[in-house]
Amino acid sequence: MFAGILIGFILGIGTALGVAWYINKMPSPFLSHEQVAQKPAPLPAPQAATAPPEGKPKFDFYNILPGKESGPAKVAPAAAAPAAPSPTTPASESYYLQAGAFQKKDEADNMKAKLAMIGLESEIQAGPGASKYRVRIGPYQNEEDLKKAQDELQQNGIASSVVKIKELGQ
């Protein structure tokens, strides 16, 4: 029995070596006959990264995301920058739907994924303390849109609560 194992082991190693030698000696099937006959040219030295021409857009991952404008980010001129809110500007109210508050970030991520499957875009906010995470949908400027989203959550079995946040006027 030992002799049979030894003979099988030797035949296996011999076969493996023969196949490896055969594969290494064969020309690559992906090269044309002219390329096989020629010695490969050395690779060119890497060039420094250059900025794309002004006419071509530079795409960025964050600009391609849903809800963002695709293409290069446009910089607003300094004159068009929003003015600092004055004390006389009235505060506007934004409404959010809070779909849950969790101790673990993984649980908050799961809820965010569940909301994405429904078609609602949400965000995870860190609450007071390092281990509390809130999943919120919004902001909504009017109560009609808020009610539609809340009804959709309720139809999918997700409890939510309305959160009203006052923001300084813009």
Segment 4-45, tens digit of pLDDT: 999 999 999 999 999 999 988 887 766 665 555 555 556 666
Angle CA 141–67–135, to nearest 5 = 60
Give me the CATH topology for the region 92-167.
Answer: Alpha-Beta Plaits (3.30.70)
Q: Please report which helix (H) or strand (E) contains residue 100, including its range.
A: strand 92-102
Q: What are the C-alpha distances in Å from 160 to residues 123, 134, 136, 155?
A: 14, 11, 9, 11
Q: What is the pLDDT of residues 85-118, one digit of tens each?
A: 444 445 577 888 888 888 888 888 898 988 888 8
Q: Which pLDDT does position 2 carry in this prediction? A: 93
Separation CA 55–CA 92 (nearest Å) = 40
pTM of the model: 0.43
